[in-house]
Copies of this chain bind each other. A is one copy, B any other.
């Protein structure tokens, strides 16, 4: 992962509504949730929610899947793990770390 991409991902998460959306999707699992369901659970207006989902989507942190009239968004676990790995990369110059960065993964 390069610096600019990581900045984009972090910026996508650095906003209350978007962080809540992302964490909701992380919890929801691979099946994801429809936009309406997300808005309902978090109390975000449709236009605002769409704006935020686009930010997360462009950053590659979530995936969208159309199903009839609904659009299901789900967390992109690979992207999340890549980001976490980037942050801890070469930690302490590789010495004396309890755990290597490669263990920072999930799902």
Contact = CB atoms under 8 A, between A and B. Distances in A.
Interface stretch (A24-32, A33-41, A65-73): A24-32
Oligomer: number of copies: 2
A44 interface: no
B10 A14 contact: yes
Most chain B beta carbons < 10 A, residue from A92, A93, A96, A99: A92
Main secondary structure of the interface of A (DSSP, over half): helix
A26 B88 contact: yes
Given A7-B16, A26-B91, 11 more contacts: A4-B16, A23-B86, A26-B92, A28-B92, A29-B95, A30-B92, A80-B88, A91-B106, A91-B107, A99-B103, A99-B105
